[in-house]
Amino acid sequence: MSVPELTIERPAPQVAVMRYSRPQTLNALDSAIRRDIADRLTELAEDDDVRAVVLAGTERAFAAGADLAEMAKVDSVAMHAWNTARSWKAIAAFPKPLIAAVSGFALGGGCELAMHCDIIVAGQSARFGQPEVKVGIIPGAGGTQRFTRAVGKFRANLYLMTGRVFDARTALEMGLVSEVVPDGEVDRTAIALASELAALPPLSLKFIKEAVALADNAPLDAALEFERRACQFLFSTQDKQEGMRAFLEKRRPAFSGR
């Protein structure tokens, strides 16, 4: 019996872990698994019992890039027909907190997948990079854009143009990852963080996620206007009432998502 490449675990209340395991290829991302990740995230977006998701690989690799054995066989017409943008857009549009738990390699499409998440927790031995230039192409799932926005033009060009791989501490120093932890604590840290987020008001987190995304893509005035309107809207939610009442009553709030 074959082992599923993509599984969903429920390690804590309102937390899901989506784990990708294809060890024979160091979790290389083929077109089918990209679609599967997007489809499963779309399902989790509609699941009211899930408030935060951890995206994880295996000990040796989060995802070591695209599946070159598959890509070597196709031309530009076939690549266009794959419509990979559909899968990547679905991942980027996931409305709940999405945490990448990165152990081992996160290269090429794997690095891009991590950058589609809201928070990246990396193990000390994790390795990142966009080495597409070394096989005659460039990143095609946001690597040139998200990486540049995270680390700045000149650091981005250094790694994009050379294809160099860099370690977790360098990624942290550049602002690419959120936190670096011992290798054996990556999943546990990410799940604990997801549990922390799951206890917070879902609508507030959704609007924070949208507002932060606008910081990269919209003029400052437009982004500030969105922030103001989102803040004003939240004043009509039950969670705003519960949060402020709990603060004044010195108790832990119980947020409902309404």
- Among 28, 38, 112, 243, the one annotated catalytic: 112
- Among 92, 132, 142, 168, the one annotated catalytic: 132
- Among 109, 129, 142, 143, the one annotated catalytic: 109
Name the residue among 173, 190, 165 with its Cα closest to residue 181.
190
- C-alpha span between 187 and 180 (Å, rounded): 12
- B/e letters for 203-228, b = 16+ CB within 10 Å, e = fewer, are bbbebeeebeebeeeeeeeebeebbe
Would you report the helix, strand and coil content of the chain in percent, each value rounded to 5? Answer: 50, 15, 30
- Catalytic residue list contains 109: yes
**In what order do the strands lie in the sheet containing 127-129?**
61-63, 105-107, 127-129, 165-167
- Among 56, 61, 66, 90, the one annotated catalytic: 66
Cβ(195)–Cβ(13) under 8 Å? yes
Treating both helix axes as pointing N-terminal to C-terminal, what angle do 143-151 and 153-162 enclose, rounded to 10 degrees? 140
- Catalytic residue list contains 112: yes
Provide the residue count of the chain.
258
- C-alpha span between 205 and 62 (Å, rounded): 25
- Catalytic residue list contains 132: yes
- C-alpha span between 65 and 130 (Å, rounded): 8
Using DSSP's 3-state secondary structure scheme, residue 35 falls into: helix
Residue 55 bridge partners (DSSP): 18, 100
- Give catalytic residue positions: 66, 109, 112, 132
